[in-house]
Amino acid sequence: SSSLCTATSFEDADSQYAAGPVYLATVNDWHRIAETWWDFFPLVYEQYPYLLAEMYAFCMAIANLQLSFTVLSNYMISSPTTQSPTEGWTWVLEQLKEKEEEDVCEYSPRQLRYTPTVLHY
């Protein structure tokens, strides 16, 4: 039988289900997510036996359950070369332009309007 995640549009997959940690959900939703994630992971790993297979399985599980996530883009930064819209670099760079500086470390978080709270490395 076909899974609901295979009928998910590219736009919905990208905007509602392509989520990375930190995840927030109700206990009841977590039970459903965990069971579906557990079922999907071996199938994903069989086709993609690499790092992030578990995250792809998670995204497929929540799409299959139609549990869309609200993706917040300001909480995390990793490499400055990352071009992902799901990281807080846009906020950091906009504020540096306003201050006409090139080093975000010159300011404390209290001096900037918005600051990411997680450094992913």
Q: What is the pLDDT of residue 110?
A: 60
CA distances from 121 to 18, 22, 110 (A): 19, 15, 23
Q: Residue 116 and residue 121: Cα distance in Å, rounded?
A: 14
How high is the mean pLDDT in each 10-residue block of the chain (121 residues)? 80 81 87 96 96 92 89 72 73 73 61 63 59
Q: What is the pLDDT of residue 33?
A: 95
Q: Residue 35 and residue 110: Cα distance in Å, rounded?
A: 42
Please provide residue 120's backbone torsions phi and psi, each rounded to the nearest 5 degrees: -100, 120
* pTM for the predicted model, two decimal places: 0.68
- In the chain, which ranges are continuous DSSP H helix? 10-12, 27-47, 53-64, 89-99
Q: What is the pLDDT of residue 42?
A: 97
